[in-house]
Structure formats: structure tokens, C-alpha cells
Homo-oligomer: A and B are copies of this chain.
């Protein structure tokens, strides 16, 4: 497996670069000394500054209570090289196994939260729970991204976008239409 270049600090207000395209992400959490990872496709950017992201994390997930109780998580963006690990993580509960160990992923210390960054992922966003108004009724968490870490290479990572039925779309090719945008929209 190709090792990503070591991640570097990245502006939190620009997290949309990696999350707005809608990739499957790996959410790592830590609570009472236990670590876990879940696969998540149900998320959306909500604001640039503060840097907000909304995540629908079903109460059936082992991670749900860990994130709710700790109020923290890390959203990690895997590339296609991690496809089989992404699928594996999404198909077994952290109540049964230690996913970092089982899937041979490297836990790196975050700067501001207790959950770990996943070293093998292209980008990692440290999150703190910002608004829980829809957690109880809708399992919808609004997080503030409080630190961001992105690998400088590859410049155009290929990401996984889940369609259901075990099938992912792959995004990677880029189209630049910058010249068609008005200045205030950039």
C-alpha cells in the first residue's frame, strides 16, 4: 500500500474541500479508554466559519453512544486504496473487536480531542459536538471541526462514494470551471 505523505495542518474553514464532495468517511471515537471506528456516508458541510459538519449516526452503531458521551470524534477521509478496510469496518461492530488492530490501521494522537487520527487516511478532521438539538430525535450530530490535518500528496486523491448495495462510485478526476464563477462565489 502507498503510504500517504505525512499530514500537515490545514485551515478548518476549508474542510469542505474534502467533505463536500460526499466521500465515505471513517469516524474514529474514544470513550472511557475504548477506541472505535465506524464507516459513515451520511454527512454534510453546514457552515464555513465556524467550520460545521452534520452527521447522521444511527443509534444502532456502537460509536453512537461513545461520540454522544465524549462529545468528540475525528472524521477521517480514506482513499480507494483503503476500500476493503472501509467495507470491513462498516460490516462489523466495534462492540466485538478493536478495529484499529483488526484492520491494521495506525492511531495517531489528535491535537485537541481524545479520539485518534487514522494515519492511513488522506485527511483527518478533529471534531467537537457543537449542537445536539437533533440527536435524541433524529440521531443528527452537528460537529465543529476544530483542527484539520491533510496529506499534501497525492494532490488529487481518489475517494469512495457509497451508493448502497455494496457499490461505490469513485471520484478523482477534476473539472475546473473557476473562470465561470463570480468573485464573491469563490
Seen from chain A, the residues whose Cβ lies within 8 Å of a Cβ on chain B are 14, 16-18, 20-23, 41-47, 54-56, 80, 83-84, 87-88, 90-92, 131, 133-134, 137-138, 140, 142, 159-182, 185-186
Contacts and interface: CB of A to CB of B under 8 A. Distances in A.
Given A87-B177, A133-B134, 18 more contacts: A14-B164, A16-B164, A21-B161, A42-B45, A46-B56, A54-B56, A87-B180, A91-B185, A159-B169, A164-B186, A166-B178, A166-B186, A167-B176, A167-B177, A168-B177, A169-B173, A170-B171, A170-B174
Given A22-B161, A44-B42, A161-B161, A166 B140 contact: no
B170 A175 contact: yes
A84 B23 contact: no
A166 B16 CA distance: 13
